[in-house]
Amino acid sequence: MTAMLVTGLILFFVYSVTGFCVYFFASKWMERELTRREALMCALALGVTIAVTSFLGSYGLILTLFLLVSMLVKIYDCKVLSSILMTIVALLIPVLVDKGVGWIMMVL
């Protein structure tokens, strides 16, 4: 029980931090710039949905992608393509960092 709670909190923290960086800085190149508050809300929504739906596997990722893209499009008036790209990058960065650390540890 404790391990599941700690894993959920770690997932929430990692995805929220990387999500904030992605949404805030990637929106600078898009047609609609997100404020810090908007980027923080998207990042928190990313962290919560990943932590809650982590047991669903790929369905959880699809649900998270759908939720965040619809939030960005309907609430923050972003374009669909830019919303999809930012959300995919926010979902992939922690995975790529984890794989990179694994490769470095394997070499060492």
Please tell me the pTM assigned to this model. 0.86
| Pairwise CA distance, residues 29 & 55, whole Å | 34
C-alpha distance from residue 25 to each of 3, 9, 105 (Å): 33, 24, 30
pLDDT in tens, 12-61: 999 999 999 999 999 998 888 999 999 999 999 999 999 899 888 889 88
Q: Which residue has the tokens 């404790």?
A: 2
Residue 5 CA neighbour count, 13 Å, CB half: 2
Whether residue 54 contacts residue 11, with contact meaning beta carbons closer than 8 Å, is answered with: yes
Q: pLDDT band at 98, cuts 50/70/90?
A: confident
- Report the percentage of the chain scoring pLDDT > 90: 61
